[in-house]
Amino acid sequence: MSDPVLSVRNLVTQFETRAGIVTAVDDVSFDVGPGEVLGLVGESGSGKTITGFSILGLIDKPGRIAGGQIVLNGQDLRQLSPPDLHKLRGDRVAMIFQDPMMTLNPVLRIDTQMIETIRAHRDVSKARAREMAIEALGLVGIPSPAERVRTYPHEMSGGMRQRVVIAIALMLEPDLIIADEPTTALDVTIQSQILSEMQKLLAERQTALIWVTHDLTVVAGLAHRVAVMYAGKIVEQGPVDALLDHPAHPYTQGLIASIPSSVPRGQRLVPIKGMTPSLINLPKGCAFAPRCPKTSDQCLSARPEQENLGSARTLRCFHPSEVSS
C-alpha cells in the first residue's frame, strides 16, 4: 500500500469540565490511504465528531489535544503554527459537518461563502472564484447552479444545502475529507443518491475519506475499512468484509445483530442492552463491561490494550471471538 494520507497515532483529546476530565478521544490510532474510505462507526457520544475536530485542530476550550500525533502527508499537524493550519484547513483537509441546516451561515449568500473559501486558499479573481463555485455546484448535481449560487441557505432544502456543503468540500480537491454523518438528516433516497455520487467523485480523484456514522449499513456499502468506536476508544478495526463477516469484539457483534437486514426474517432483533456510559468516572476495567455478555473478573479490573490481529485488523478485548483468516 502507498503511504497513508493521514496517520493518527495515540490521539487523546480531553475536556476539562466542572464534573471532571472527560476523555472524549482516548488512544485512537488509524491510517487512511489515498482513495480509501474509512468508516468511523459508533453510538452517539462515542467521540467520532471530536476525533474529526481534533484532526482539523478545531478543539476549543475547555478541550485540548492531550497527546498523540496527527500526520498528514508526512507532516505532523500538531506542530504547525496557527497560520499554517489555516492554510491547510479547507484546502488539504475538508470537513463536512453533521447538520446541513446549521452549517452554512444564514446571513450570507451561498456564493459569498463559496468564494471566500476559494480566495482564502487560491490567488484567483472574484470572477474566477465564482466560476469555480458554480462548476463545483454543478458537479454535485445542483440544477441551474449559476442561479442557485446567488441564494441564501434558507431558500434551499436540506438536501440541496448538504450538496452545497459537499461541493465546498470537493471544490479545492483536498487530500482528505472528513464527512461527519453527512446524510443522517436527509431522507433515505436522497441519502443514497448523494452517497453514490460522492463515492464516484472521490474514487476518480483518489481522495481519502473518513465517513463518520452511527449506521453500520451505510458503512457496509461505502467503506473499505471500518473502525468501531466505543467510549472514546477504537475497539476494533479492519477491512469492511472481514470485520462485518467475522466481528471479534462483542460490541461490534452487538451492532451487527441490531441491524434489521442482518437477521433472518422472523427472528428478533437484538438491541445492545444498556446505555452509552458517561465518560466521566469510567469504570476501572473495560468501558463496555457493564453491557458485555462476556464480562469476566479480568474485564472489570484491567483495560484491554489494542492488539494487532494481522491482516490490518486491531482489537481491544480480553475475550474476542475467533477470527478465521
Partner 1 sequence: MLAYLIRRFGQAFLVMAVMAAIVFFGLYAVGNPVDLLINPEADLAEQEETIRRLGLDKPVHVQFGYFLGGLTQGDLGTSFVHNRPALELILSRLPATLELAFLGILLAVILGIPLGMIAGLKPDAPYSKVIMTGSVIGFSTPNFWQGLMLIMLFAVFLGWLPAGGRGETVDLFGIPVSFLTWDGLGHLILPAINVAIFKMSLVIRLTRAGASEVALQDYVKYARARGLSPARVLGVHILKNIMIPVVTVLGLETGNVIAFAVVTETVFAWPGIGKLLIDSIGLLDRPVVVAYLMLTVFLFVMINLVVDIAYSILDPRVRVKRGKS
Ligand X SMILES: Nc1ncnc2c1ncn2[C@@H]1O[C@H](COP(=O)(O)OP(=O)(O)O)[C@@H](O)[C@H]1O
Widest CA span in the chain: 67
Is residue 54 within 8 Å of 226, Cβ to Cβ? no
Closest CB to ligand X among residues 48, 163: 48
Closest CB to partner 1 among residues 105, 298: 105
**Distance in angstroms (rounded) separating the CA atoms of residues 147 and 165:** 17
Q: Does 183 bind Mg ion (CB under 5 A)?
A: no
Helix (H) or strand (E) run with residue 94 in it:
strand 93-96
Q: Does 294 bind ligand SF4 (CB under 6 A)?
A: yes
Answer positive or negative: Cα dihedral of 185, 191, 195, 198.
Answer: negative
**Distance in angstroms (rounded) separating the CA atoms of residues 242 and 244:** 6
The candidate with the shortest Cα–Cα distance to 202, out of 1, 4, 38, is: 38
Q: Does 97 bind ligand SF4 (CB under 6 A)?
A: no
Q: What share of the chain is helix, strand, coil (3-state, %, to 5)?
A: 35, 25, 40
Q: Does 300 bind partner 1 (CB under 8 A)?
A: no
**Sites for partner 1 among residues 129-158 (CB under 8 A):** 152, 154-155
Q: Does 252 bind partner 1 (CB under 8 A)?
A: no
Residue 244's alpha-carbon distances to 113, 124, 252, in angstroms, are 40, 46, 8
Taking residues 27 to 56 in sequence order and writing x for each that binds partner 1 by CB under 8 A, - otherwise, the string is --------------------------x--x
In the set 43, 99, 131, 215, which binds partner 1 (CB under 8 A)?
99
Q: Does 271 bind partner 1 (CB under 8 A)?
A: no
Binding segment (CB under 6 A) for ligand SF4, from list 63-71, 145-153, 186-194, 286-294: 286-294
Closest CB to ligand X among residues 47, 100: 47
Determine the 3-state secondary structure of 159 from DSSP.
helix
CB of 15 to ligand SF4, least distance (A): 24
Which spans of this chain sit near ligand X (rule: CB under 6 A)? 15, 17, 22, 24, 42, 44-50, 63, 279
Which spans of this chain sit near partner 1 (rule: CB under 8 A)? 53, 56, 58, 86-91, 94-95, 97-99, 102-109, 116-117, 120-121, 152, 154-155, 168
